[in-house]
Amino acid sequence: MKTNEAFTRVTLAKDNSNVTSTQQKGMSKHKYITIPNIICTIRLIGSILLFWIAMRNHLSLFTWTFVVLSLSDTVDGRIARWYNLRSEFGARLDSFADLMLYGALFFGLFWFRADVLIQEAPWWIVGLLSYFLTTGAGLWKYGRVPSYHTRGAKISQWFVLAGAVCLLLDYTIWPFRLAMFLVTLTNLEATAITWILPKWQADVLSILYVLPSKNKE
């Protein structure tokens, strides 16, 4: 019995040391102060500045500031994955920063291209309603906004970036229409994920990862 107890204690100690080393690897000294969270905060502040830039009628500055802020979303996500810096707080901060960014984008689109945006209302209204649907579903079920960061969301983000630039600089409208279509599909997938998941969870790559058949494997 003593031998078994000693073996158990040694095994548990090894397991705990492995968990500790895994948790500490790549983590900052303060759990809230990480490089991805700093980038998210910069994006949040920059998104607020976008409103001011739009009202000052600086179209080019607004467009390229949005491009930089949008690309920062890709950068902080990759850093968080590469260095094991993902956290629930970071996921929620990232979602809030994105909300502010795209809120500023639509404000700028109305400010600079209101006539075109009114003509394209069916496309972006459907996308906006799909966002309200997935957000409302998350608030109703979990009491918080979903923060899945699916592959579909990452793909649609690039199309939103291209569509916004083309619309703002008056190139062509079709990238914007395609972006709104993909945003709608992404939000519908997020709503389905919320329907399946019993508890709030961040960073779900796709609905395939939460299907009952997938969980049984």
Q: What is the pLDDT of residue 6?
A: 44
Average pLDDT, the chain: 84
58-87 per-position pLDDT tens digit: 999 999 999 999 999 888 878 877 877 777
Percent of the chain with pLDDT over 90: 59
- The answer to whether residues 127 and 183 touch, using CB atoms and an 8 Å cutoff, is yes
What is the mean predicted confidence (pLDDT) over 141-156?
A: 91
What is the mean predicted confidence (pLDDT) over 21-47?
A: 70
Q: What is the pLDDT of residue 215?
A: 53
Q: What is the pLDDT of residue 9?
A: 43
- The answer to whether residues 150 and 124 touch, using CB atoms and an 8 Å cutoff, is no
CA distance 138 to 195: 9
Extents of the domains making up the chain:
1-97, 120-217
pLDDT-based confidence at 213, cuts 50/70/90? Answer: low
Q: What is the pLDDT of residue 11?
A: 41
Higher local confidence (pLDDT), 79 or 1: 79
The residue type of 159 is F
Token pair of 134 as six digits = 């997935």
C-alpha distance from residue 88 to each of 37, 131, 160 (Å): 11, 21, 25
Residue 8: pLDDT over 60 = no
Residue 20: pLDDT over 50 = no
Report which DSSP code applies to 143: S
pLDDT-based confidence at 31, cuts 50/70/90? Answer: low
Q: What is the pLDDT of residue 85?
A: 76
CA distance 188 to 14: 44
97-134 per-position pLDDT tens digit: 999 999 999 999 999 999 999 999 999 999 999 999 99
Three-state secondary-structure class, residue 58: coil
Residue 153: pLDDT over 60 = yes
Q: What is the pLDDT of residue 75?
A: 86
- The answer to whether residues 164 and 147 touch, using CB atoms and an 8 Å cutoff, is no
Find the distance separating the first CA and the last CA of the chain, reported in whole Å: 36
Q: What are residue 148's phi and psi, to 5 degrees?
A: -85, -35
Q: What is the pLDDT of residue 29?
A: 41
Q: What is the pLDDT of residue 82?
A: 80
Token pair of 6 as six digits = 């000693």
For the four alpha carbons of 132, 105, 156 and 212, in that order, the dihedral sign comes to: negative
Task: Report the half-sphere exposure of 197 (CA within 13 A, side-chain side).
Answer: 25
CA distance 208 to 217: 12
**CA 114-120-126 angle, 5° bins:** 115
What is the mean predicted confidence (pLDDT) over 173-181?
A: 96
CA distance 213 to 206: 14
Q: What is the pLDDT of residue 66?
A: 96
pLDDT-based confidence at 15, cuts 50/70/90? Answer: very low
Size of the chain in residues: 217
Q: How does DSSP assign 15-41, residue by residue?
A: HHHHHHHHHHTT--SSTT--HHHHHHH
